[in-house]
Amino acid sequence: MGLSDEIRYCIRCGTGLTTQDCFGKQRPVCPACGWIYFSDPKVAVAVLITRDHQVLLGRRVNEPGRGCWTLPAGFVDAGEDPLEAARRECFEETGLEVNVIGLVDVLFGQEHEKGAHILIVYEAQICGGELKAGDDLDAVDFFALDHLPLMAFSTTPKILQKWQTKSC
């Protein structure tokens, strides 16, 4: 689905949109009132938590990547501070309360059709809670970096590699 497929009717007057060249790109435009649709990128956060040289991963219950593992992650809600989103998503998926201690990376590029365009990856430390899978994960566990399970997304090993290089 292209960005122009996201919206078909004007949110102001309900007229069917046309595509026109506006501000250097083809964009949906209302021929009746002139409203222009600017698609905002989806932003997600991921949390990297380590313990005893192991990394916390969760097994996905939904596609894409069902049955494969990834960092605790999720979308940032409109108006939500990304740091708060990281804490919220981590708690929802793992049952753990965390303190964010640093920025690992900011990645651009949509890995799958329903995915984020921008991924902000934070490093965090556990400060409370009880480890248990929740939300869209059915298992959570710590894994040695040299014995990782099958990953759901190609960005996860890249993030772990960057973090490992940075930590050395």
Predicted confidence (pLDDT) per residue in 39-96, tens digit: 888 999 999 999 998 999 999 999 999 999 999 999 999 999 999 999 999 999 999 9
* Per-domain boundaries in the chain: 1-39, 43-167
Is residue 1 over pLDDT 50? Answer: no
- Cα gap 86→79, rounded to integer Å: 14
Is residue 2 over pLDDT 90? Answer: no
The whole-model pTM stands at: 0.84
Do 1-39 and 43-167 have matching folds? no
The share of the chain scoring above pLDDT 70, in percent, equals 96
The CATH code belonging to domain 43-167 is 3.90.79.10
- Cα gap 59→144, rounded to integer Å: 15
Topology, domain 1-39: Ubiquitin Ligase Nedd4; Chain: W; (2.20.70)
